[in-house]
Amino acid sequence: MAIREILEVPDPRLKTVSEPVEDNEFDDELRTLVADMFETMYDAPGIGLAAIQVGVPKRVLVIDLQPEDPDAEPVECDHDGHTHTHPATKKEPRIFINPVILDPAEDVSTYNEGCLSVPEIYADVDRPATCTVRYRDLDGKEHEEQLEGLLATCLQHEMDHLEGILFIDHLSRLKRQMALKKLKKLRQAA
CB 147 within 8 A of CB 133: yes
The whole-angstrom separation of Cα 77 and Cα 18 is 37
- A 10 A CB-CB count for 137 gives 13
The whole-angstrom separation of Cα 155 and Cα 31 is 20
Pairing, β 130-136 against β 142-148: antiparallel
Look at residues 28, 22, 23 and name the one whose alpha carbon lies nearest to residue 58: 22
- Quick one: residue 97, left, alpha or beta (phi over 0 = left, psi -120 to 50 = alpha)? beta
- A 10 A CB-CB count for 44 gives 14
Per the annotation, the verdict on 25 as an active-site residue is no
Q: Which of 25, 76, 158, 163 is catalytic?
A: 158
Q: What is the CA radius of gyration of the chain?
A: 17
75 three-class SS: strand
Q: What are the residue numbers of the active site?
A: 158
